[in-house]
Amino acid sequence: MKRFISGATCPGCGLVDKIYVLKDDDSESMHCSQCDYVEIKTEDNAADGVQEWSPIKLPDK
């Protein structure tokens, strides 16, 4: 499953709204659609980040 993360900034290129998460049965990874940035979630770094992503409501402008 591919999900874009609204408001996320790519650590590689700094662009906003270009990060997506790929998740299948046994792995999860974060990618940038504009550069070659990839972060693979492993047992070692799982505790460092967010375990689950949840939608947020942004304030109206």
Q: Does residue 49 fall inside a structural domain?
A: no
Give a yes or no: residue 37 inside a domain: yes
Would you say residue 15 lies in a domain?
yes
* Model pLDDT for residues 27-52, shown as the tens digit of each residue: 899 999 999 899 988 766 555 555 56
Q: Which two tokens stand for residue 2?
A: 């591919």
The answer to whether position 7 is within a domain reads: yes
Parent domain of 22:
2-43
Tens-place pLDDT, residues 11-27: 999 999 999 999 888 88
Residue 58 lies in a domain: no
DSSP structure string for 6-53 = TT-B-TTT--BS-EEEEE-SS-EEEEESSS--EEE--HHHHTTS-SS-
Report the C-alpha gap between 11 and 34 in whole angstroms. 12
Query: Full-prediction pTM beyond 0.85?
Result: no
Count of domains in the chain? 1
